[in-house]
Chains A and B, each alone.
Chain A
Amino acid sequence: MTRSRLVLPVLALVALGVGFAAAVGAPREATQGEFARIMFVHVPSAWLAFLAFGVTLLGGVMWLIRKNMLWDRIAASSAEVGVFFTGLALITGMIWGYPVWGTFWDWGDARMMSTAVMFFVYTGYLALRRSVPDPETRARRSAVLGIIAFVQVPLVYFSVTIVRTLHQGLTFTGPDSSIDEGFVGPLLINLAAFTLVYVAFTTYRTRLLKIEDDLEAEEAIADLELAGLGITEPRLGGAAVDG
């Protein structure tokens, strides 16, 4: 790995360290105590999930317009990272919910339910990608599913304004936003740190996907040379598109 490629992960790690220090140094919340510090992981994770799925949508739309495989790889990488952040937001939310709300999971909470639904929608997106062996077909279908799946994002975001349930309203932009000034700085620092982590993960995953695609293409050429143009070797990589 060249030195320039190390810059991004090192920066992300340093930023995470600064974010951790800011979270520990933030004032103690009056009613929730130390549990409120989970917010410094939970809120940035949720925001980054939205951003990641937004990039997946953009990548899909750009692929449909430009037909450049780079956009498909960006969309796929971003979706994977988005699923990771959604999972992190769900788990941290549940860990926080037990001591504060008295339950890990509340069936009536619109934000929890819609976030879980979003998690499964994008898990389906990733499952679809694994099921289509042909790169172009995979890119096209994933692009369409990425557009359909994005419908979930505004539903999750506005779920707390449509239904008033256990989850608090919008943190900054809501009419009843009441976040203390002492929390804003650490929250924004952690948001920046998580954004760097997202960029690092997505960049590396995109590169990895390019390497995988190149390897697959090389293997396909080698198979053709071995067997001749009239024969194609059975592949383990997935089902063929037919019928």
Chain B
Amino acid sequence: MKRPGFWYQAREIARKDLIVEGRAGEALYITVPFGAVALMLIPLAVGTDKPLLATIGPGMYLAVSLLFGMLVAFRQTATDDASQRELLALLGTDPAAKFVGRAATSLLLMLVFSAVLVPVTILLYNPGRIEGWPWLILVIGLLASGLAMVGTLAGSVTAGLKTRSTLTPLLVAPLAMPMLLAAGQVLEALRDGSSILAWIVLLITTNLAMAAIGVATAEALEESSS
């Protein structure tokens, strides 16, 4: 029997993860509403100064996307137990395909998460019209994709550890900060009318670096968790 190709394997892993997520609803039915609640908490903490909220709204959106995006990336439904890992290994699944498939699922869920939070932010913060907003769609996509890969990598590094739930955010948050910084600077640059090219390049470079590291180290991490 011919061994399935790389992209077929990645697609099947992603499909399996989506089915599990569809059954559990961990990301979409628990994390997404929780993210919306977080956006509501901020005005309660900083006060109801409308001009201030309009100014900080887009930044709060990015911060909440990052913090709750982390929860989406290392959700429990994306965790393989020992028997699942052994079965995948026995089937000859390419670890790199597993990384790509898992990151793709996280990206899809994070895009949904980000899309849901946009109208919530607009309704709660009324940030007004941002010039060059189509660029923001690209930035949100790159942020989600980078976060999906960092989250998947960190999830693999901490797989099976009893400290996983506390350790993973500590690993992901600082690694994701350059992406948050770049996304925040794009917002500022769009407001000022200055160039956003350097920040887009930074986001793309970080994404490419994470993709390359994820694929290159997948096999080593697979051996470690089996």
Contacts and interface: CB of A to CB of B under 8 A. Distances in A.
A140 interface: yes
Given A162-B202, A241-B161, 10 more contacts: A127-B170, A128-B171, A131-B161, A132-B161, A144-B156, A144-B217, A147-B213, A148-B175, A239-B162, A241-B160
A150 to B, nearest CB: 9
Contact of B158 (A113, A117, A131, A151): A131
6 contacts: A132-B161, A137-B224, A141-B221, A148-B210, A163-B185, A243-B82
Interface of B: 81-82, 150, 153, 156-158, 160-163, 167, 170-171, 173-175, 177-178, 181, 185, 198, 202, 206, 209-210, 213, 216-217, 220-221, 223-225
Contact of B161 (A114, A117, A123, A239): A239
A34 B213 CA distance: 45
B161 A121 contact: no
Contact of A117 (B82, B167, B178): B178
Nearest to A133: B161
Given A113-B181, A152-B178, A131 B221 contact: no
B165 to A, nearest CB: 11
A131 B178 contact: no
Contacts of A241: 160-161, 225
Contact of B178 (A155, A240, A243): A155
A interface SS class? helix
Nearest to A151: B209
Q: Which among A110, A118, A140, A149 has the highest number of chain B CB atoms within 10 Å?
A: A140
Contact of A148 (B153, B161, B170): B153
A60 to B, nearest CB: 10
Interface of A: 64, 110, 113-114, 117-118, 120-121, 123-124, 127-128, 131-132, 136-137, 140-141, 143-145, 147-149, 151-152, 155, 162-163, 238-243
A144 B215 CA distance: 11
Contacts of B175: 121, 124, 148-149, 151-152
Contacts of A113: 177, 181
A120 B175 CA distance: 9
B162 A240 contact: yes
A114 B178 contact: yes
List 4 tightest A-B contacts by C-beta distance, closest first: A239-B162, A120-B174, A140-B224, A131-B163
Contacts of A118: 174
A105 to B, nearest CB: 15
Nearest to B81: A243
A239 B173 CA distance: 23
A144 B167 contact: no
B66 to A, nearest CB: 13
B160 A242 contact: yes
A140 B198 CA distance: 34
Contacts of A120: 170, 173-174
Contacts of B82: 242-243
A62 to B, nearest CB: 13
Q: Which among B82, B153, B157, B173 has the highest number of chain A CB atoms within 10 Å?
A: B157
B217 A147 contact: yes
A243 B171 contact: no
B177 A117 contact: yes
Contacts of A121: 171, 174-175
A144 B178 contact: no
Nearest to A131: B163
Contacts of B198: 162-163
A53 B209 CA distance: 17
Contacts of B224: 136-137, 140-141, 144
Contacts of B223: 140
Nearest to B206: A151
A149 B172 CA distance: 10
Contacts of A137: 224-225
Contacts of A140: 220-221, 223-224
Contact of B157 (A117, A145, A151): A145
A207 B200 CA distance: 44
Contacts of A110: 181
Contacts of B174: 117-118, 120-121, 123-124, 152
A64 B213 CA distance: 14
